[in-house]
Amino acid sequence: MSKKVLVVDDDPVVRLLVTEYLSSQGYNVEVVESGTEAMNSIPRSKPDFLILDLLMPDMNGIDVLKRLKGNPATASLPIVMMSSDYDSEAITNSYGVSADEYVQKPFGMRDILSALRRVGESPK
């Protein structure tokens, strides 16, 4: 059975590229474009991994991360944060709130795959 990844990013190009690549690697990929949608989707879709953009307009990735890590039902969900924010504070904040990995945009698709493998396992 394929591992399910929920990709949360407000950029449609990033969503498309990550979805196509991870799908080609055997992952079952679902996408949403906001933190609010992610919070609504997670209980229903029960992803094995979350790829979460840091900077989003409605609810930023740190807020989503705090809520997920603070909830016993989702605290163990492996989360890969990604951002184009080059501020080292963004990285520190991500890890400070228990992000499992951080990938800097722009990134290669293999960077995302490597991060998923570091926090979990292969897609099947």
For residue 57, give the nearest of 102, 99, 10, 13 by alpha carbon.
10
Strand partners, 31: 7
Give residue 52's pLDDT band: very low, low, confident or very high (50, 70, 90). very high
Amino acid (one-letter) located at 52: L
User: pLDDT > 90: what percent of the chain?
Assistant: 58
Please identify which residue in the block is written with the tokens 């080059």: 86
What residues contact 16, with CB distance under 8 A and at least 6 apart? none
For residue 53, the surrounding DSSP H or E stretch is strand 49-53
Query: How far is residue 34 CA from its own chain's centroid?
Result: 11
Please report, for the chain, the start and end positions of each structural domain, with discontinuous segments joined by +: 4-119
CATH architecture of structural domain 4-119:
3-Layer(aba) Sandwich (3.40)
pLDDT band at 70 (very low <50, low <70, confident <90, very high): very high
pTM for the model: 0.87
Identify how many contiguous H helices and E strands the chain contains and give both numbers.
Answer: 5, 5
CA distances from 69 to 10, 21, 64, 90, 94 (A): 21, 27, 9, 17, 11
> For 14-33, what is each residue's pLDDT tens digit?
999 999 999 999 999 999 99
Between strands 49-53 and 101-104, the pairing is: unpaired
